[in-house]
Amino acid sequence: MSGVKTHCPYCALQCGMRIEGSPQEPRIAGDPDFPTNRGALCVKGWSAGVTLAHPERLTTPLVRNVRGFLEPATWDEAIARTVEGFREARAQGGADAVGVFGSGSLTNEKAYYLGKFARVALGTRMIDYNGRFCMSSAAAASNKALGVDRGLPFPLADIAQADAILLVGSNVAETMPPLMQYFEAQRARGGKLIVVDPRRSSTGLAADLHLRLAPGSDAAVANGLLHLLVRAGAVDAKYIRERTEGFEAVRAVVASYWPERVESLAGVPQADLLRAAQILAHAETVMVLTGRGPEQQSHGVENALSYINLALAMGMVGKRNAGYGCLTGQGNGQGGREHGQKADQLPGYRRIDDPAARAHVAGVWGIDPESIPGPGKSAYEMLDGIGEAEGIRALFVMGSNPVVSAPNARRIEARLRELQFLVVSDFFRSETADIADVVFPAAQWAEEPGTTTNVEGRVILRRRVFDPPQAVRTDLDLLCELAAGLGKGEFFPSSDPERVFVELCRASAGGPADYSAMSYGELDAKGGVHWGGERLFHERFPTPSGRARFHVVHDVHPFEEPNESYPLYLTTGRVLAQYQSGTQTRRVPTLAKVNPEPLAEMHPLQARRHGLSDGDAVILATRRGRARFSVKVTPNIREDTVFVPFHWGGVGSANRLTQDALDPTSRMPEFKVCAVRIERGTSAFEPKNKEHGT
């Protein structure tokens, strides 16, 4: 197949694909020339074109009328209403009365302009994005231990060459299926795969060893493995001495994590822990990879640090075909956190409280450094603060659906309904757009060029394939028009993605994520460029001492544990054919057929206790609310744990159940662990949320 080369809009692999045909009948094939996926696509990639001409797609702005209904409006009307809403909120509550909520699905250009828009056009500190719910714990841990955060500091091809891989809390076979080819190649050449997960997922079924830990006990398992490696003399003393600092304090702590204690803390049999340690000890190259499992917890940063400790102690970080990496989730999860839409960051992954960083970025923007607002609130804290005296009154949401994706979701939906003004830019009417005052229709992934940065730090160029519908504009167009309406148009001179990228490169120059040597032409010709180089940490770490840093981590219980009233653990995650809040994928017939509804996975013994069988309706209840699911009985989950996917809203919303305890460093909510009970039930226990005015 020929066609236009571009990239999939979904996960952080950003698989290469070729497209031809029309928006109504797009023909998609994997691009065998792109090194990440090498022609492979998952079911989401194959069906990605369905959304382009979907009958439910937004093709005109919507504005809420006096009767409370969203109705079609012109762009001029929608822009004017939005500018008015922002000005009213600022007049009543100051600049910080307006908040901005971005997305890890935005291109680098959009993420950059959105951060600039918040700080220059609105003058607000209040900007964060949904990546706070995804990658923030691993990012903070990498910065603490290694001096920089890049999901994988090595190319994906290295996975196939590792002698042993410890994969923690990630179901690659369903969340990133094209990535499995590397794990399969690794095992075909005799490599060993150890999966750490409360569920024996599709990935766990392909592993040599599965450590079925209790939810929230990740640090105990990591410390227990390190204890055994120290005891066996399998740590790299020369590497530790020459390239790291702080190991002795860690050694003293893990001395007490003997196998019997770890079994009592984590539920992992001593024999399995010993076998895992033996595999790691006898491997010449070891790769430690973490996913959302250990990270989406109230101690997610410490969990990630405990696994980084393990990789450092074995001398694997910076070694070819080895090291520590984090499997980024969202399409531009890496680039999305590098260029300024996080509450504490400026472009180039600079800290917003760094005077030198502020001066550099202000010079690019043509403003006084003192006019750049300081750090704002994290995503959940910003949303939860709505309605308080110092909380935001107006919110601009671009490419996100917090009504479904935020923890304790009913509370967040109630907060959003308290807003004085809510505006959303999206492809479809999401659950969040349904309660907005203004909704803008956005151009989709195949309708505009732009760059993203994939899981391995490879900056790639998505090409434009089709024209958007006539009344649809890009998010960059929207930001420029809103800035002009707010009297700041001179700072947003162009909505052309390539020109915005040139400015982004200037703003990132000299920062940890430096794109300054890149251009659209180079990215197009090379099929992508790794910022910082293909492999990091070979000679030194970007820390003041040039050494990596060990961190003492103690096993800490989850914020909420099972008790008599809520006797089980609840954990959440993804399934093969759905993505994020499901706003796009739930509308694709092929995907809806594969995963048509959210299923509650439970162990056969647990199902028998409650008189449940496959397909039965069940209500799960936590301290925050209740949600309804269909039962899936499986022996591949712990008896004390129930798993539900989070891609649905309404009465099947997993995040009505999840809790909002935050990691003290990353401010990541504890999506992965809470206490739940099973209630047998078949009737709808509450009506669906209705739109204002209906």
> Could you read off the pLDDT of 161-188 as tens digits, one per residue?
999 999 999 999 999 999 999 999 999 9
The mean pLDDT value for 248-258 works out to 98
Distance of alpha carbon 490 from the chain centroid: 33
User: What confidence category does residue 351 fall into, taking pLDDT thresholds of 50, 70 and 90?
Assistant: very high
Residue 39: closest CA among 13, 15, 11: 15
Q: Give me the torsion for CA of 336, 341, 346, 349, rounded to 10°.
A: -20
| pLDDT tens digits, one per residue of 83-130 | 999 999 999 999 999 999 999 999 999 999 999 999 999 999 999 999
Q: Is the pLDDT of residue 331 over 60?
A: yes
Question: What pLDDT shows up at residue 49?
Answer: 97
Q: Is the pLDDT of residue 687 over 50?
A: no
Task: Characterize 49-80 residue by residue with b for buried, 16 or more Cβ atoms within 10 angstroms of its Cβ, and e for exposed.
Answer: bbbbebeebbebbbbbeeeeebeebebeebbe
Which helix or strand (DSSP H or E) is residue 572 part of?
A: strand 568-573
Answer for the pair 85, 421: CB distance below 8 angstroms, yes or no.
Answer: yes
Q: How far apart are the C-alpha atoms of 130 and 111, rounded to whole Å?
A: 12
The mean pLDDT value for 562-586 works out to 96
DSSP letter for 117, please: I
Q: Is the pLDDT of residue 296 over 60?
A: yes
Q: In the predicted model, what is the mean pLDDT of the chain?
A: 96
Answer for the pair 412, 401: CB distance below 8 angstroms, yes or no.
Answer: no
Q: Directed axis angle between helix 300-313 and helix 136-146, to 10°?
A: 40
Q: Is the pLDDT of residue 352 over 50?
A: yes
The mean pLDDT value for 366-370 works out to 98
Listed in sequence order, the residues at least 6 apart from 674 whose beta carbon sits closer than 8 Å to its beta carbon are 558, 560, 569, 570, 622, 623, 657, 658, 659
> pTM for the whole thing?
0.95
User: What confidence category does residue 691 fall into, taking pLDDT thresholds of 50, 70 and 90?
Assistant: very low
Listed in sequence order, the residues at least 6 apart from 205 whose beta carbon sits closer than 8 Å to its beta carbon are 636
Of the chain, the percentage scoring pLDDT greater than 70 comes to: 98
| pLDDT tens digits, one per residue of 263-294 | 999 999 999 999 999 999 999 999 999 999 99
Residue type for position 164: A
Of the chain, the percentage scoring pLDDT greater than 90 comes to: 96
| pLDDT tens digits, one per residue of 524-559 | 999 999 999 999 999 999 999 999 999 999 999 999
Q: Provide the sign of the torsion angle of the four alpha carbons 242, 244, 248, 250, taken in this order.
A: negative
The mean pLDDT value for 436-444 works out to 98
Residues in the chain: 694
CB 529: neighbour CB atoms within 10 A? 21
For tokens 């998505």, the residue is 462
Helix, strand, or coil (residue 505): helix
Q: Provide the sign of the torsion angle of the four alpha carbons 128, 179, 18, 60, taken in this order.
A: negative
Task: Characterize 2-37 residue by residue with b for buried, 16 or more Cβ atoms within 10 angstroms of its Cβ, and e for exposed.
Answer: ebebbbbbbbbbbbbbbbeeebeebebbbbeebebb
The mean pLDDT value for 53-67 works out to 97
Q: How far apart are the C-alpha atoms of 588 and 407, rounded to whole Å?
A: 25
Residue type for position 394: A
User: What confidence category does residue 248 fall into, taking pLDDT thresholds of 50, 70 and 90?
Assistant: very high
Q: How far apart are the C-alpha atoms of 546 and 541, rounded to whole Å?
A: 5
Question: What pLDDT shows up at residue 682?
Answer: 54
E strands, 233-283, are: 244-245
The mean pLDDT value for 216-231 works out to 98
| pLDDT tens digits, one per residue of 136-159 | 999 999 999 999 999 999 999 999
The mean pLDDT value for 602-609 works out to 97
Helix/strand number for the chain, H first, E second: 24, 28
| pLDDT tens digits, one per residue of 632-669 | 999 999 999 999 999 999 999 999 999 999 999 999 99
Question: What pLDDT shows up at residue 135?
Answer: 87
φ and ψ at residue 173, rounded to 5 degrees: -60, -25
User: What confidence category does residue 693 fall into, taking pLDDT thresholds of 50, 70 and 90?
Assistant: very low
What are the structural domains, with CATH classification, of the chain? 4-51 (3.30.200.210), 62-134+332-530 (3.40.50.740), 136-327 (3.40.228.10), 568-680 (2.40.40.20)
| pLDDT tens digits, one per residue of 8-47 | 999 999 999 999 999 999 999 999 999 999 999 999 999 9
Answer for the pair 689, 413: CB distance below 8 angstroms, yes or no.
Answer: yes
